């Protein structure tokens, strides 16, 4: 909740930049770089180090074992350019890993945050490729971001006081007229936060879903049992402005509910759209069905008229971010994160960039939310009233504030 320091913000969000200038070679270089033959090309390697936001695995593990992400953007941008990651070891650069650039010229690596308890100095090198010369980045330290400003490993016997249970009532204007948040739907088990969708033990009869006025959604058909949802936040205890937020999560498998890691602004209004900040849905998982389920990332910003304007992406081929054929979003934990600057959001899965946008940038402190919700428009997807006891798990969550 501290005031952002512009100098530290610049240091954290762009760790280092190095530039070399060479004359563009003759005409054959145009096909490789897209640069006119009469121009001079600025060869740039802009490297940034992110906090430890990569950690795939089937079991819970301390966040201190997560890998630091090192991302470099090379200019000119050429797809497939070979890049190596090296660390400074006994005064010499030792190559650790290799990859190739994306079509945007980006090379991403996951590396150890500490070696024998000490910070590590890294750099990346784009190797000579076609007509492009070898380019070294500046060196960066693995611990640039330092310790997180907020962390919960969920290793206590119960959910601690930093978390509050949200919206413990039916919420038709929010699209959940048949479900409510409840303490019994969220609890700590074996070092993880369990988020559940379960039948509401206090409800009698069946629910006919309604649709929020002005939402544009069609009304779901049928009647359904009432449900309780795991839905917790740090609204009253912890928020931040600019930096990185990350959660290591394992999702439910079935459709009919969606697990989420998201941010909302301090001072959120209980009714209507808050006219500042944004809703930042770092990740939402709608179940095993890429066309109708799968992963989504969204940003909702307020309009002058008081409505919400959505920007987002549905990952129709989200499995490309998995760690192999035996992996699945409900089998293994993955780290979902957002890097939030004054000008853009960059979303990642285990350090791999999935989407970035400059729309709906919040300049207001945002708090953390973890949930497994059964919204009205999902109820018909459950496939039967017996299949409504679903769980998602959060191994850890943390944020690093750039200020």
Q: What is the pLDDT of residues 5-53, one digit of tens each?
A: 433 444 444 443 333 333 333 333 334 444 455 457 789 999 999 999 9
Q: For residue 251, is it within any domain? A: yes
- Residue 66 and residue 160 share a domain: no
Q: For residue 338, is it within any domain? A: yes
| One-character DSSP codes across 330-375 | TTSBEEEEEEE-SS-EEEEETTEEEEEE-TT---S-EEEEEEEE--
- Residue 373 and residue 356 share a domain: yes
**20 three-class SS:** strand
d(CA 99, CA 97): 7
Q: For residue 19, is it within any domain? A: yes
DSSP class of 9? H
- The whole-number pLDDT of residue 218 equals 58
Parent domain of 208: 150-401
- Residue 88 and residue 234 share a domain: no
Among 119, 141, 163, residue at a domain's last position: 141
- Residue 336 and residue 214 share a domain: yes
- Residue 162 and residue 58 share a domain: no
Q: What is the pLDDT of residues 284-321, one digit of tens each?
A: 999 887 666 789 999 999 988 878 899 998 886 778 88
Q: For residue 1, is it within any domain? A: no
> In angstroms, what CA-CA distances link 394 with 10, 59, 311, 338?
31, 11, 26, 16
Q: Which CATH number is 330's domain given?
A: 2.60.120.200
- Residue 154 and residue 31 share a domain: no
- Residue 333 and residue 241 share a domain: yes
- Residue 209 and residue 315 share a domain: yes
Q: What is the pLDDT of residues 139-192, one digit of tens each?
A: 999 999 999 999 999 999 999 999 999 999 998 888 899 999 999 999 999 999
Q: Let me know: does 243 contact 5? Beta carbons within 8 Å.
A: no
- Residue 159 and residue 35 share a domain: no
- Residue 179 and residue 73 share a domain: no
Q: Which CATH number is 109's domain given?
A: 2.60.40
């Amino acid at each position: 909740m501290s005031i952002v320091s512009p100098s530290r913000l610049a240091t954290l969000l762009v760790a280092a930049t190095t530039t070399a200038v060479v004359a563009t070679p003759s005409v054959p270089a145009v096909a490789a770089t897209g640069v006119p033959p009469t121009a001079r090309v600025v060869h740039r390697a802009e490297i940034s180090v992110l906090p430890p936001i990569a950690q795939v695995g089937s079991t819970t593990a301390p966040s201190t074992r997560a890998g630091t992400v090192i991302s470099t953007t090379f200019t000119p941008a050429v797809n497939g350019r070979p890049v190596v990651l090296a660390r400074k070891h006994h005064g010499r650069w030792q190559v650790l890993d290799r990859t190739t650039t994306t079509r945007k010229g980006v090379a991403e690596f996951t590396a150890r945050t500490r070696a024998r308890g000490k910070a590590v100095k890294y750099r990346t090198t784009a190797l000579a490729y076609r007509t492009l010369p070898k380019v070294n980045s500046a060196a960066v330290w693995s611990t640039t971001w330092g310790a997180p400003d907020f962390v919960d490993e969920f290793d206590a016997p119960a959910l601690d006081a930093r978390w509050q249970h949200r919206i413990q009532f039916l919420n038709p204007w929010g699209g959940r007229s048949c479900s409510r948040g409840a303490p019994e739907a969220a609890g700590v088990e074996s070092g993880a936060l369990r988020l559940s969708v379960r039948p509401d033990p206090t409800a009698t009869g069946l629910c006919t879903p309604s649709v929020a006025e002005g939402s544009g959604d069609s009304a779901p058909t049928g009647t359904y049992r009432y449900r309780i949802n795991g839905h917790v936040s740090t609204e009253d205890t912890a928020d931040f402005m600019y930096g990185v937020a990350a959660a290591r999560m394992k999702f439910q498998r079935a459709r009919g509910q969606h697990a989420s890691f998201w941010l909302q602004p301090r001072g959120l209004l209980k009714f209507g759209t808050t006219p500042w900040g944004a809703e930042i849905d770092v990740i939402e998982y709608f179940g095993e069905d890429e066309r109708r389920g799968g992963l989504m990332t969204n940003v909702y910003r307020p309009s002058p008229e008081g409505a919400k304007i959505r920007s987002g992406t549905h990952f129709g081929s989200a499995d490309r971010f998995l760690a192999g054929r035996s992996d699945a979003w409900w089998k293994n934990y993955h780290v979902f994160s957002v890097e939030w600057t004054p000008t853009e959001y960059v979303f990642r899965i285990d350090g791999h960039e999935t989407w970035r946008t400059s729309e709906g940038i919040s300049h207001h402190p945002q708090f953390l939310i973890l949930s497994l919700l059964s919204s009205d428009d999902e109820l018909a997807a459950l496939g039967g009233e017996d299949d409504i006891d679903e769980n998602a798990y959060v191994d850890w969550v943390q944020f690093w504030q750039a200020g």
